[in-house]
Structure 1
Amino acid sequence: MSDTDKAQSRNEVAQEKFGKDFEELSSMEKIQVGGTLGGRSRGDQQGGDHQAHLDNVAQEKFGKPFSELDSMQRIQVGGTVGGQSGGQYTGTGGDS
């Protein structure tokens, strides 16, 4: 992946999670973007569909698709996805 592709990916995730460009994020927000990108890379390597996984968790936690969540809800979904071992969807146990 080229440096331009990496920057574009960071900006896309920053927009998804926080509604702003990567360079506008705080240090902690940048770390979360990095974690999201790392999780997506692992999911891609394992043949997973990251967006479908996000939608599944968002539906379970909030009753709507990931694209309709506000930024705090997206962070919660990202934390749930990131915390699942091996990137496999195992459910959230109904935590909201």
Structure 2
Amino acid sequence: MSDDKQQQTRDEVAQEKFGKKFEELDPMERIQVGGTIGGRSRGDAEGGDHKEHLNMVAQEKFGKNFDDLEPMQRIQVGGTVGGQAGGLYTGTGGDQ
């Protein structure tokens, strides 16, 4: 992906998630934007609906949809989804 296209994608996701440009985000928000972009890329490559997968894992772990989670919970869900995509993790196990 070209640098211009990558920056455009970052800005689009940052606007969608936080209503700001990527450069205006704090470090934790930037991580979330990166995770969203990576997850969408994996979802597109696998022919799946990434948002649906995030919601499924969020429900398993926290009993809520992804959009209703706190930032740290979103990071945990993103890590679980990323691990599943990489074949490193096969179940959520829940966070009790």
Superimposed CA distance per residue, residues 47-80 of structure 1 (whole angstroms, 9 cap, x where no aligned partner) = 1010110000000110111111111111111111
Does the aligned pair in 2 maintain the 1:57–1:92 contact within 8 Å?
Answer: yes
Structure 2 residue ranges without an equivalent (≥5): none
- Identify which of structures 1 and 2 has the higher relative contact order when contacts are C-alpha pairs closer than 8 Å and 6+ apart: 1
Does the aligned pair in 2 maintain the 1:57–1:91 contact within 8 Å?
Answer: no
The answer to whether the aligner puts 1:50 opposite 2:81 as a matched pair is no
Question: What amino acid maps onto 2:69 in structure 1?
Answer: L
Taking the TM superposition and a 5 Å limit, the aligned residue runs for 1:2-21 are 3=4, 7=7, 9-11=9-11, 13-14=13-14, 16=17, 19=18, 21=20
Q: Distance in 2 between matches of 1:28 and 1:63?
A: 23
Aligned-residue CA RMSD (Å): 2.9
Taking the TM superposition and a 5 Å limit, the aligned residue runs for 1:15-94 are 16=17, 19=18, 21=20, 22-26=22-26, 29-86=29-86, 90-94=90-94
Does the aligned pair in 1 maintain the 2:42–2:85 contact within 8 Å?
Answer: no
* Corresponding pairs, count: 92
| Aligned CA distance change for structure 1 residues 67 and 31 (closer, same or farther; 3 Å) | closer
| Aligned CA distance change for structure 1 residues 11 and 63 (closer, same or farther; 3 Å) | farther
Q: Distance in 2 between matches of 1:62 and 1:12?
A: 28
Question: What amino acid maps onto 1:58 in structure 2?
Answer: A
TM (norm. structure 2) is 0.68
Superimposed CA distance per residue, residues 11-41 of structure 1 (whole angstroms, 9 cap, x where no aligned partner) = 454463xx46321234565355224312211
| Aligned CA distance change for structure 1 residues 45 and 85 (closer, same or farther; 3 Å) | closer
| Aligned CA distance change for structure 1 residues 31 and 63 (closer, same or farther; 3 Å) | closer
